[in-house]
Amino acid sequence: MPALDIAFFGSSLVSSYWNGAATYYRGLLHALARRGHRVTFYEPDAYERQKHRDMPDPDWARVVVYKPTADEALRTVETAAGHADLLVKASGVGVHDALLEEAVLAHRRHGSRVVFWDVDAPATLDRIHENPTDPFRALIPRYDLVLTYGGGRPVVEAYEDLGAVRCVPIYNALDPDTHHPVPPVPDLVADLGFLGNRLPDRERRVEEFFLKPAAARPRHTFLLGGSGWDDKPVPPNVRRLGHVGSAHHNAFNCSARAVLNINRESMARYGFSPPTRLFEAAGAGACLITDRWEGIEQFLEPGFEVLVAADGSEVADWLDQLTPARASAIGRAARRRILSEHTYGHRVIELENLLEAHAPAGAHA
């Protein structure tokens, strides 16, 4: 398809600090640039993310950091819309989201597309269903497309019931240039590692799937990475690492005998929502243990490419059974599968095909 000028409003491209969408943004936009598209990413200077950058401005995207005020947000949208063929508002920018969601529609140019890209559809949909007066509800039918990074049929049908012209999941994936095998780091060697920020609808599941097995297997070693866990009581065989920057994710994934994925409660409930961590770990050739959720088979084959646990007791049982040889075999199989079917290169081709089949619809303005 012809090269597009893409303006993307999101939380942050250059910082993963309290920003779980960073890997997704980087993988997708890097792959879009490889296909010849021009990408500008607009992010607010908020939540100390600029102080906690873990990458410089990339050569494959222009990054514009704007002041987190309403006036500056509106001026930035007006500037971006003046040249963009594809104007994207992602969920969870964190500053003036409602204003941005309306502004990108108000500044639609003739012949351009305006897309809402939901990087946490379960949270967005739960919020709208709980609040019938949520202002975003009335805006949904005005977007040319709603894209999500997960959710399957439950999310698609929920958005279409709310009037979306079309809703399509563009799932998380792997950027092989970013996440790949590296030598293990002695300081990160453990029996099981988990990496994730402390969030309200994840904490109970972390207690069940990570802290419970740790307490049940005192001779095993466990690593807990991510922000917010400093004051969380943990068993003595759990070592807290705090925030782990994206540059250190490969070492984290390649040093533990197994890596644990725990979906947030809302994502597990909707299903078909593989988080970035799953693809990062598989891309590094790690042996992955995941909590059970509907749709895992679409991405990795249970028992061969991933180990699936219904609760913390099953996580502990997998650790008892997992020899180094089997862990290595599972990691290699997962990496082969992800490289063949689930890279961001695959996702961008899906997106291009979708955009070519779905012409700009100015009538929705």
Q: How much is the pLDDT for 361?
A: 54
Are 221 and 93 found together in one domain? no
The sheet with strand 145-148 has its strands ordered as 62-66, 38-44, 5-9, 86-90, 113-118, 145-148, 167-169
The verdict on residue 98 lying in a domain is yes
Q: Decide: helix, strand or coil at residue 244.
A: coil
| 44 and 169 together in one domain | yes
How far is the C-alpha of 105 from the C-alpha of 165, rounded, in Å?
14
Task: Report residue 307 as tokens.
Answer: 């180990």
Please give the helix or strand (H or E) that residue 331 lies within, else none: helix 324-341
Residue 180 falls within a domain, yes or no?
no
Tell the residue number behind the tokens 């640039």, with chain if given.
33
Domain check: are 267 and 350 in the same one? no
Domain annotation covers residue 86:
yes
* pLDDT of res. 360: 67
- CATH at residue 89: 3.40.50.2000
**Same domain for 13 and 156?**
yes
Number of domains in the chain: 2
- The confidence score (pLDDT) of residue 362 equals 47
Verify that 116 and 199 share a domain, yes or no.
no
* Closest residue by Cα to residue 113 from 153, 146, 139: 146
The dihedral through the CA atoms of 122, 297, 299, 183 has a sign that is positive
* Length, in residues, of the chain: 365
Q: Cα–Cα distance between 69 and 86 in angstroms, integer? A: 24
How far is it, in rounded angstroms, from Cα 270 to Cα 307?
A: 20
In a domain, residue 181? The reply is no
Tell me: do 168 and 190 sit in the same domain. no
* Cα separation values, 219 from 192, 206, 318, 320, 325, Å: 12, 19, 15, 11, 20
Q: Are residues 89 and 118 in the same domain?
A: yes
Nearest-angstrom CA–CA distance, 313 and 296: 20
How far, in Å, CA of 273 to CA of 243, rounded?
Answer: 23
Tell me, yes or no, whether 26 lies in a domain: yes
Which tens digits make up the pLDDT trace of 244-261?
A: 988 999 999 999 999 999
User: Are residues 220 and 240 located together in one domain of the fold?
Assistant: yes
Residues 89-120 pLDDT 10s: 999 999 999 999 999 999 999 999 999 999 99
* Predicted pLDDT at 246: 87
If asked whether residues 153 and 201 sit together in one domain, one would say: no
First to last CA, the chain: 24
Phi/psi of residue 308, each to 5°?
-115, 135
- Domain identity same for 158 and 201: no
DSSP state, residue 237: T
Q: Give pTM, 2 decimals.
A: 0.91
Per-residue pLDDT tens listing for the chain (365 residues): 899 999 999 999 999 999 989 999 999 999 999 999 999 999 999 999 999 999 999 999 999 999 999 999 999 999 999 999 999 999 999 999 999 999 999 999 999 999 999 999 999 999 999 999 999 999 999 999 999 988 889 999 999 999 999 999 999 999 999 999 999 999 999 999 999 999 998 999 999 999 999 999 999 999 999 999 999 999 999 999 999 988 999 999 999 999 999 998 888 888 898 999 999 999 999 999 999 999 999 999 999 999 999 999 999 999 999 999 999 999 999 999 999 999 999 999 999 999 998 766 543 43
CA distances in angstroms from 169 to 119, 279, 314, listed in the order given: 10, 16, 30
The answer as to whether 130 is a domain residue is: yes
178 domain residue, yes or no: no
Q: What is the pLDDT of residue 340?
A: 98
The whole domain housing 198 covers: 186-341
Same domain? 336 vs 353:
no
List the alpha helices (DSSP H) in 133-273: 135-139, 152-161, 200-206, 212-216, 249-255, 265-270
Q: Give a yes or no: residue 179 inside a domain.
A: no
Tell me, yes or no, whether 211 and 283 share the same domain. Answer: yes
